[in-house]
Each structure stands twice: as C-alpha cells, then as structure tokens.
Amino acid sequence: MSERLIQSVERAADILELFLVTKPELSIKEISENLNLSKSTVHGIIKTLEHRGYLQQNPEDLKYKPGIKLFELGNFVGKHLDIGKIARPIIRDLVDELNETVHLVSLQRDEIIYIEKVEGHSALTIYSHIGKRAPFHSTGVGKAILAHLNENEANRILSSINLESFTKYTMTNIEEIKEQLHSIREQGYAVDDEEIELGLKCIAAPIFNHQGNVIASISCAAPKMRLDENRLPQVIAGIKRAAAEISSDLGYRGKNIL
C-alpha cells in the first residue's frame, strides 16, 4: 500500500475490531495481550476512545465495552447503505455466470418491491419489472423473506394478505405455506415452481442487514425446462453465494447462510 498509514489510528481500529471477535468486555491487560501492545500504549488509546464515546468502562470490573458512539455510527451507516448499488455488480456477475434473469427485491413495510432486474441473453418475458410488487406466498423472493421474519410477523402478514391463486400450482393454504417456510429456513433457499407463472421456475435466497434482519432477497428466474436436475445445483449455489455476498457487504456478520 503506497499511502502512509497512521500507526495510532491503526491501533485504535484494531482495538475496536477486537470486540467483534473476542468478548463484549475486555480489560486493558486482555487487549494488550491480544494485540501484542504495551499496556501504556493501550491505556492511552482507550482513554481517548472513551473520551469520544467509542468505548465505555464498566465501573464494577473496570473493563471496557463498545460505546454509544459506535452504535450511532452503525445505525447511520445501515440506514444509508444503498442495497441496489451494493448488489448491482454482484447481480451482473451472477447473470454472466448463469445467463438467466436475476431479480433483487426489497422488503418495504409489508410489501415486497422489485428494485433490480438484470436479464440474461436468452431471457423470456416474465411477471416482474422494477417497481412491481411481489406476492409473498407465490414467489421465491417472497417466500425467502417470509421464511426469515420472526414467527409473529410472518403469521401477521400471512393473515392479512390475499392468498391469490395465480396458477394451479399456487399454494394458498396457510398451514401448508408455514410448513414450506420451515423447509426454506432449513435449506437456505426458496423455490417458486410455476406458482406465479406457468413454465417459470425461480430459486431465491434471503439477504440480511447488519442487525441480522432479513430486508431483501435475490432470485434467478428461468424457464422450468432450463432448471433441470443437472443445472439446479449450480443455480442454487450461485444464488446463495450472491445473497451471502450482498449480506456481508451490508454488514451482516451472522451465521453462514451458504
């Protein structure tokens, strides 16, 4: 790296990031040993971070933990991340890999909105377009999100939406939908098998934000004949990988969703 880095700032960042991989509270001795720094160096940096609100001291055991300023900054970054901008290059790479249409949808209040759509070279005209609302119960993107909401929220949405039948394969029984949502959580992806449009099959995976909440999903849509048993594993792996990359770029540090 050609730029001149400031050592004290590097060390301050190392101390803050140490809380991500160790314990929620650390003593000066623990920080010193983990980072191989002298106690006097750690003490000076910590007192500065404490003064600015980035760390706070527990008066009972004198250990330090992340302060309110970090919480404020994290919330600010989370609110101003442009998921479309972050996802766009990842989506384009996936379209190049699969040569199929890829969608990105966002959860906005109780609605799912298509916010990105990149078509493969052999794309067909399908149900979606940017700005269109997606049904929760009959699309892969909808079910991928619904499956990862908390149970009360998912039940509330299922009770309030119109479980419209779009094709003979659309699932409209709430109990059957709930069983399917359980399977989706277990496998990490959702399938729409001609449920919104005859001849169309979609594979979708959830996207999580820095707080671990599902906020969006991504899917690959193609004619069912092109998503046969030989090709399906490649598409599933690609969709799950892309969803994990986007989630990571949004600050998600939860369990591995691949």
- Which are the contacts of 160, defined by CB distance < 8 A and separation ≥ 6? 110
- Which are the contacts of 181, defined by CB distance < 8 A and separation ≥ 6? 143, 146, 147, 154
Q: pTM for the complete prediction? A: 0.71
Mean pLDDT for back-to-back runs of 10 residues, the chain (258 residues): 78 90 90 94 94 93 91 68 86 92 86 84 63 86 94 90 91 92 94 92 93 92 88 95 94 70
What is the structure's pLDDT at 1? 45
What is the structure's pLDDT at 81? 60
What are 66's strand-pairing partners?
55
What is the structure's pLDDT at 34? 93
Q: Where are the beta strands (DSSP E) in 88-188?
A: 101-108, 111-118, 133-134
Q: Which of 200, 255, 167 is nearest to 219 (CA)?
A: 200
What is the structure's pLDDT at 71? 80
Q: What is the DSSP letter of 26?
A: B
